[in-house]
Amino acid sequence: MSDVRALLVGRDIVVGDGCYAERAEQPVMEIEEWLRALTAHLAFSSKRQSDRFLQRVNVRQPEMQQQDSDALRQGLRTVAQQMQKRGFCDELIAEAFALVREAGSRTLGKRHYDVQLLAGRALLRGRIAEMATGEGKPWPLR
């Protein structure tokens, strides 16, 4: 018996038969497989919802480009009032983000990335948003 195996005696740690002292592969339980499949399904359905949300925002872009600055301000006021009554539903968030995206591109000369809109949506829903380096984290917080 090797020194490592002697140290592990009586500790409920199963070591494999190889030349290195590695933990033996444990059999995968059926519930674990079921939970993995469920998690994968939920992530896929969340991706579809995000794609639909971005499509709602992007469809409004040509309409927003046609409006002047006063119309954008008035549109945002209207959406804000509706949000106070109805809450943060995806339809109103998409309209507000389309307005803000157009205003940002006019005033700053930069357009919000889709990932920034998704981060803002997550924050409005009380969730945590994780963004990679270089995706413009300060923008969704403005």
What are the tens digits of pLDDT across the range 103-140?
A: 989 988 888 888 889 988 988 888 887 778 777 766 55
pLDDT of residue 83: 93
pLDDT digits (tens, 9 = 90+) for 49-103: 889 999 999 999 999 999 999 999 999 999 999 999 999 998 999 999 999 999 9
The answer as to whether 90 is a domain residue is no
Cα 80 → chain centroid: 23
Could you give the angle at which helices 90-107 and 69-86 cross, rounded to 10 degrees? 150
Give the pLDDT band (50/70/90) at residue 2. low
Question: 44 pLDDT exceeds 60?
Answer: yes
Token pair 């002047």: residue? 68
pTM, whole model, 2 decimals?
0.66
Both tokens of 139, joined, read: 């923008």
The count of domains in the chain is 1
39 lies in a domain?
yes
The 3-state DSSP class for residue 106 equals helix
Could you tell me if residue 40 is inside a domain?
A: yes
Q: Does residue 53 lie in a domain region?
A: no
Helix boundaries (H) for 60-113: 61-66, 69-86, 90-107
Q: What range does the domain containing 6 cover?
A: 1-48
Domain annotation covers residue 12: yes
